[in-house]
Structure 1
Amino acid sequence: MKRGLRIATYNLAGLGGRGGGSEAERVRAFRAMLARLDADVLCLQEVDAQNIGTRHHPLRRLNVLEPLLADSPYADFHRSHSQHRDRDGALDIHNLVILSRWPMLQARQIWHELVPPPRHVPLHVAGHAGNTAVEAQPRRWDRPLLYAQIDLCVAGHGPGDSLHVFNAHLRAPLAAHLEGQKLSTGVWRSTAAWAEGFYLAALQRNGQALEMRLAVDRLLSTEPDARVIVCGDLNADLNEMPVRLLCASETDTGNPALAGRALHAVDRALVSTSSEGCDVASRADERHYMLDHVLASKSLAAACTRVWMPVGEPAWPSDHPPLLAVFEI
């Protein structure tokens, strides 16, 4: 694979009409960036779905992707996306998508499969602040994780060689909804209620990260040398809890025997500051605050030769720049 294995993650916030400008302008801008990425495996987040059913029997499809991918190499890629828990079709908003140049041996979503919804007793209920008689409520993740096993044999590798990809969009660090605790949109009744909402958001975000960490551990238990990629909008910088939880570095576990289970943030080392894509070395503390990451298992991280992000360019129509990692395997 002379050109290397190119894996990219891109949050498409704005594709469904939330980014300003006309739909044609947004699609044109996204298509141009996708062409620059020239990815073999592309993980997308925040892909909104369109209802092709009725109001009472909705059926949502990702029709918004068709003009984005049409007449491009991605149009023929193998595809998997997140699904609604309670009915056929995609989620209303914020779907996850994995596109692959090569066939997927399996693809599925993980949603409270390994971690049950944590239960929380609301401390602030309208008219009943601090009422311990209020029942505990489950706090479910807003969206699933998306997993795919990609067959690398077609790419010229040996029989049984594959790539395991986890695509994630973790909960944003914004206070979760509490019934009756806002005066208006974005305006809380009290700092205490806001703090509880913020805590619940962190609980859900870290819970998603925990479930993905457990999924990676389960995979590595059966295939210790597996090539694993975890990427997406993790809504956390490198030193924040969700990323540390996912990486499970030897520094945190304190056990060298667990080093083979650690994930490594390949975007820690290299980042591009040129619109032409010329990579330069950069220390993590010199970069902008980053929410999107590519984490790789040990052997795969060692094969990473390039990480690219269009720093310094307008992010429009998304508020997230894409991130590309290249691996020589």
Structure 2
Amino acid sequence: MRLATFNVESLDLPPRAKLPIEVRAEALRPVLARLDADILCLQEVNGQHVPDRPERVLLALDRVLEGTPYATYERISTSGPDGLGVADVHNLVTLSRFPIRSRREVFHDLVPQPLYRMVTADPRPSEPEPVTFDRPLLAADIELPSGQLLTVINVHLRAPLAAAISGQKLSAFVWRTVGGWAEGYFLASMRRAGQALELRLLLEELFAADPHRLIAVAGDFNAEDYDTALRIAIGAEEDTGNGALSARSLVLLDRAIPADRRWSILHHGRPQMLDHILVSRSLYGHVREIEVHNETLGDELVGFGKGSPSPGSYHAPVVVELAL
């Protein structure tokens, strides 16, 4: 059985998309075919309006998956405002060849919005304001052919880009002061770490109900190995100092990939592994192989500088083979 994660980078239709969906589909379909995934976690799938329907739907994704095996898979996604349809941008979508028995979105259910009073904002707020995470976690219980349940949690943590601060930006990517940028970067880090904390608390709930639960967490963590967000999610024994808790820690599978191949994005010439699959100790015993398909990746900063988005994605998909 193969489980994969892939950030498809703002999959959308014109006019919001710079490229026709046919161009993107032609680039993405071979990538999806090579994954040959039974369960596929996607990030950054945008929603579209269709005539006579109030809610947004995943029309662009439907166009890409048309004619592929994934078109017949069961599907869940994160929701739009008030639970209607899907969100405008950056939905999480989980596709499964096997039956999805339950789904759950977790969004400030376990971690309330932190309150923070900005110090560089102009004007400066008189009271602390809530800091809201960018998006939910998407959990699914999937019934495998053996009858076992596999819990798959699809994640997309906040990117390491400074959050907006009132009065501190001259344009979209130009800051007025270094202090303003620094506070924006701090806020982005708070959101990313907060999402990771909510993930860890969800895992604690799952392990409390079943210490031997089969769990996979897959997605774009926007964090490299040993960064704060991953350390919170993994809960390693060397961090807790308590060997009795080791059964609740997760295993970061891409540590098995050779160093020269271990990268899922290329940013300004620097390879980074930001997309990951983590598994519970019970599931770890079923792992046979992990791959990152990064052979065709270009440098995202070069593409951005030229104003020419990739028809595929600047993220490489990651796939694990499981003996289940």
> Using the alignment, how far apart are the partners of 2:107 and 2:55 within structure 1?
20
Secondary structure at 2:245 match in 1: helix
> Using the alignment, how far apart are the partners of 2:212 and 2:224 within structure 1?
27
How much has 1:84 moved relative to structure 2? Answer: 1.8
Q: Deviations for 1:245-303, whole angstroms, at most 9, x for unmatched residues?
A: 10001111111100100001111102xxxxxxxxxxx1489753111000000121232
- 1:264 maps to a residue whose letter is V
Return closer, same or farther for 1:32/1:146 CA change in 2, 3 Å cut-off.
same
Secondary structure at 2:41 match in 1: strand
- In the alignment, which residue of structure 1 is the partner of 2:314? 319
> Using the alignment, how far apart are the partners of 1:19 and 1:308 within structure 2?
29
Are 1:15 and 1:47, in contact at CA under 8 Å, matched by a contact in 2?
yes
> Using the alignment, how far apart are the partners of 1:312 and 1:221 within structure 2?
41
- 1:35 maps to a residue whose letter is A
* Long gaps (5+) in structure 2: 264-270, 299-309
Q: Deviations for 1:70-101, whole angstroms, at most 9, x for unmatched residues?
A: 22211111100000243511110000000011
- In the alignment, which residue of structure 2 is the partner of 1:245? 232
Please report the TM-score for the alignment, with normalisation by the length of structure 1.
0.87
- In the alignment, which residue of structure 1 is the partner of 2:177? 190
Secondary structure at 1:61 match in 2: coil
> Using the alignment, how far apart are the partners of 1:284 and 1:145 within structure 2?
31
Secondary structure at 1:64 match in 2: helix
Secondary structure at 1:65 match in 2: helix
Are 2:24 and 2:64, in contact at CA under 8 Å, matched by a contact in 1?
no
> Using the alignment, how far apart are the partners of 1:283 and 1:31 within structure 2?
28
Check if 1:293 corresponds to 2:299: no
Q: Deviations for 1:145-201, whole angstroms, at most 9, x for unmatched residues?
A: 10000011xx1x14xx10000001100011111112111111111111111111110
> Using the alignment, how far apart are the partners of 2:256 and 2:168 within structure 1?
43
- In the alignment, which residue of structure 1 is the partner of 2:37? 39
- 1:42 maps to a residue whose letter is L
Q: How does 1:155-194 map to 2 (within 5 A)?
A: 155=145, 157-158=146-147, 161-194=148-181
Instruction: Provide the aligned length of Structure 1 versus Structure 2.
Output: 303
What do you get for the CA RMSD once the two structures are aligned?
A: 1.9
Are 1:6 and 1:326, in contact at CA under 8 Å, matched by a contact in 2?
yes
Task: Say which is worse superposed, 119-128 or 310-319, in terms of deviation.
Answer: 310-319
- 1:254 maps to a residue whose letter is G
Please report the TM-score for the alignment, with normalisation by the length of structure 2.
0.89
Secondary structure at 2:67 match in 1: coil
Task: Say which is worse superposed, 85-94 or 60-69, in terms of deviation.
Answer: 85-94
- In the alignment, which residue of structure 1 is the partner of 2:221? 234
> Using the alignment, how far apart are the partners of 2:21 and 2:39 within structure 1?
25
Are 2:75 and 2:93, in contact at CA under 8 Å, matched by a contact in 1?
yes
Indicate which of 303, 311, 326 corresponds to 2:286: 303
Q: Deviations for 1:118-160, whole angstroms, at most 9, x for unmatched residues?
A: 11011122144xxxx71111011111110000011xx1x14xx
How much has 1:243 moved relative to structure 2? Answer: 0.6
Q: How does 1:1-329 map to 2 (within 5 A)?
A: 5-16=1-12, 21-52=19-50, 58-86=54-82, 88-128=84-124, 134-152=126-144, 155=145, 157-158=146-147, 161-270=148-257, 282-283=258-259, 288-314=271-297, 316=310, 317-329=312-324
- 1:162 maps to a residue whose letter is L
> Using the alignment, how far apart are the partners of 1:173 and 1:302 within structure 2?
33
Secondary structure at 1:312 match in 2: coil
> Using the alignment, how far apart are the partners of 1:88 and 1:19 within structure 2?
23
Q: Deviations for 1:10-62, whole angstroms, at most 9, x for unmatched residues?
A: 001153257865421211111111111010100000000002268xx952111
Are 1:14 and 1:318, in contact at CA under 8 Å, matched by a contact in 2?
no
> Using the alignment, how far apart are the partners of 1:217 and 1:85 within structure 2?
28
Are 2:73 and 2:96, in contact at CA under 8 Å, matched by a contact in 1?
yes
- 2:224 maps to a residue whose letter is D
Return closer, same or farther for 1:127/1:70 CA change in 2, 3 Å cut-off.
closer
Secondary structure at 1:106 match in 2: strand
How much has 1:106 moved relative to structure 2? Answer: 0.3
Secondary structure at 2:154 match in 1: strand
Return closer, same or farther for 1:53/1:179 CA change in 2, 3 Å cut-off.
farther
- In the alignment, which residue of structure 1 is the partner of 2:301? none
Secondary structure at 2:193 match in 1: helix
Task: Say which is worse superposed, 44-53 or 106-115, in terms of deviation.
Answer: 44-53
- 1:168 maps to a residue whose letter is V
> Using the alignment, how far apart are the partners of 1:240 and 1:285 within structure 2?
19
Secondary structure at 1:325 match in 2: strand
> Using the alignment, how far apart are the partners of 1:89 and 1:257 within structure 2?
43
